[in-house]
A and B are shown apart, each in its own frame.
Chain A
Amino acid sequence: MGEAAVYPTGRNKCCTIFRFSFPAVLLTLVLLAVATRALHAQTDCLACHSDATLQDAAGHSVGVDGAKFSSSIHGSLQCNDCHADIKEYPHPDHVAPVVCSKCHADQQAGVAGSVHAKASEHPCTGCHGDAHSIFPKDDPRSAVYPLNVPKTCGACHGNDGLAKRHGLNNVYPVYMDSIHGFALSKEGLLVAANCQSCHGSHNILSHNNPLSTTYKTNVPRTCGTCHAKINDEYQTGVHGHAVAAGKLGAPVCSDCHTAHAILQPTEAAFRMQSTPICGNCHKDKFSTYRDTFHSQLGSLGGYVETARCWDCHGAHGILPASDPNSPVNKANLIKTCGQCHAGANASFVQYQPHANARDRKLNPALYFIRLFMNLLLASVLIFFMIHTILWVIRARYNQIKAKAAEGDKNA
């Protein structure tokens, strides 16, 4: 016994052994007295398992915090409700794994069909945490309490190694910096989208699976769970119609807002990165936009109020210009341009935000003005370039000659 080393004197040793061993000895005596009696109460098991340092043959901790367990969601259960193969004491060294599906069959079925079916972690405790301290999901102590979900999922999905092995992005830090992550971690907003708000919990499917909440055509409905009005608008717009018609090239929420790194759209950071997102598909419009003052100033950052795509076209319920409800319909232009340009009139709104000075058919006046300016620029510069180079050479030549002549005179 360790005590011997600590208390070397005989008298103390005797007392100490007695003091420390007494409960154990008593317990052993009691247990021996009842021999192989059946186990029923938690206290029966906790007699041994309350020792936090208790380990099984393989070195795994088998200690249980009785107080915490009794306050957990399973606190009213008996130990062998879950550890069903333990009927009596002493029990075998090896006990069967707990089968949660005995009660939680639906959840078990969900996980079995999900991306996590083959996870090396225990299908339940991997997310719900220590089996003896599982709390309801609205309890802040729960590993799946909304504010704790990102950390719980992030334990694996914030891990570069695991993410890389499965060809996934390391989404945890990206999410935490997003507007959802910020609302959740900084504001403690329980309704802010956490991982399972979009991905589901037990039956998480790959976004390639048409049944997944994150499958392209399902994304608007998934986001619409919270952003209902935006979803309604989206469904009325050209992108919503296209996706509904099975045109998967059209964008859904995540194509413009990204999936995890979602930013506050009115903030500078999103305004700065947004136009190229539309430009991914609308290449010609993006190219002509970049020729304009809106883009030229817009690219320089800082203060970012120059018009971006959706400032004129709308964002979610984008309509073709021919639609009378479109902000870029001829009838609405004065109002749309007038949002920024106070005093915009009928002539002002004839300005073409996507004019192409390189296209003679589309914008002939602009094309010829640009051509004239370019010819002027080229002819002036080429003429004077030649003129100046010849002049410099000639003047230098004369200088050297004059110096040589002067040198001759002096000699």
Chain B
Amino acid sequence: MWTPDALQLARIQFGFTVSFHIIFPAITIGLASYLAVLEGCWLHSRNEVYRTLYHFWSKIFAVNFGMGVVSGLVMAYEFGTNWSHFSDFAGGITGPLLAYEVLTAFFLEAGFLGVMLFGWKRVGPELHFFATIMVAVGTLVSATWILASNSWMQTPQGYEIVAGRVVPTDWLKVIFNPSFPFRLAHMGVAAYLATALMVGASGAWHLLRGRDDPGIRTMTSMAMWMLLIAAPAQAVIGDFHGLNTREHQPVKIAAIEGHWQNAPNAGVPLALFAWPDSKQEINRFAVEVPHLGSVILTHTWDGQFRGLKEFPAQDRPNVAVVFWSFRVMVGLGLLMIALGIWAGWARWRGTLYRSRLLLLCALFMGPAGIVAMLAGWITTEVGRQPWVVYGVLRTADAVTRHSVAELSLSLALFVVIYFAVFGAGIRYLLRLIAVGPGADGTTQVTGGPGQSRHALRPLSCAPDPLGQPGGAP
């Protein structure tokens, strides 16, 4: 039986907590922009449907934001508890970037979030719209900082090593490192797609249950438009991201493709299915399309890129994990494109809100954006192993030397408590969604600093108990 060592347990623990966490900020980013669009539409058209949708989704946004803050608390400490040598070594760069992410989030909470969630009756519509836009921009800025940090760990530059520690020499180079623009665009669009799929699935769920009103139709329609545009765009961005990775992290690309070695003067095939065997350095059960690998990664018929065997075995990631997580991501991405096109076609035919098969597919695709995003992160994070700062610091040298017993205990506690706490949170979110727009009152609750409902407690924006309009008076 496989028994994990301390390093693997530390990695599992980080992967588990960060995976749970990332779901909430991603949906926060997507919903914030969606809310800005809804409010803009309302201001433009004064169509009540948009306002109803705004109030409905702003409550879900608030609960989701709160969950993100709570799960983020752990992340602020985990770099020290489990990756102390990394923090000591690279804290000079990752510290300020993390701090700016946190400060941006608190800036939002102390500033515009309160106006957005509780100020509907207190400030004018233009000012409220401005607050919503600022929150939307702020969530993207917050993500920018943390993605700059992650990208720097993937493609480090703008630093020197003094006395065994990283010292920044050029912050612009640090932040705008080679993989940063691609990662930012890829993650931003991933957040929009995950949110659109969630909104679309909510609409489909209500339509399938026979609740067909303008609000449900509008949100389903908007989600499907988003899918039609963003899903193909994501494929293009992903392609550019791949080319960038080929240049800077060639072994990651080789693992993604399960590409062990080049045949002389021949294009690289694309393995649709295979079981990469790292011991024998071959793909078993491979189903390949000739030349497609070359076409995707070099944009030429016979182009070659470096195979895994060109790198020493100790510098390669776990090929099977990277190979398969990438295929899960791309597979789901292709399904998203298909769903977007199908919905566009149904819209043209006038059956978008009636086709049960389409709505069922939209419902089942609800979590697909989140799953694809997690799979993508697994690809890029496992794919840069064995490095934590690529080419500079190995993961094995970054980890705190805790015992297996300590790590097992803490991991078990994390798993149990996260499932209990965030399980309850997600269940509550789903119940909110099930109530649907309009049913819980069309106006926003009021609150602010010093009141029971306020922005530093985003969850207080949601009704309690559920189903009553904003709680009793």
- B and A form one assembly: no
Residues in chain B within 8 A of chain A (CB atoms): none
